[in-house]
Homo-oligomer: A and B are copies of this chain.
């Protein structure tokens, strides 16, 4: 199943929001497509250290993820690639698209000189844990979140 990758355009955004929302954990907090998503899209597009990426198959958007490049003093001044909001469209899950997305992201991180790739996943996503494990990631860290009002 050939999959192409590119930076998301504004006209991809409704599909991206729908994929992010189509998930038992994230549905309630993502909301229907609206102006707040467009504002976030513009903020991502304006920031050279953030990329909203889509995966395409036969001209249709079938996956999305966000890449953030974070400079830091730790690890000898290493650049990190952080991956957030990884989704594959429901009808095509389990066919290796997620793996192609992660491999593409890791390669892009290498090209930009990142020393580490990092991500967190909700502890309830047991399948995701096995998936990242199979890609060579180590579950070495606890991920803490604090919601602000």
Contact = CB atoms under 8 A, between A and B. Distances in A.
Interface in A58-78: 66, 68, 70-78
Interface residues of A, number: 65
Copies of this chain, complex-wide, total: 2
B29 A75 contact: yes
Query: Is the contact region of chain A dominated by helix, strand, or loop, or is it mixed?
Result: mixed
A91 to B, nearest CB: 20
A85 B74 contact: yes
B139 A144 contact: yes
A17 interface: yes
Interface in A73-131: 73-79, 82, 84-85, 106, 109-110, 114-123, 129
A5 B149 CA distance: 23
> What 6 A-B pairs come out closest when comparing CB atoms?
A141-B143, A40-B77, A43-B71, A36-B77, A137-B144, A120-B141
21 contacts: A29-B74, A29-B75, A30-B73, A30-B74, A30-B76, A37-B73, A40-B72, A40-B77, A52-B73, A74-B85, A82-B82, A110-B148, A115-B147, A116-B145, A119-B143, A120-B142, A120-B144, A137-B144, A138-B144, A140-B145, A141-B145
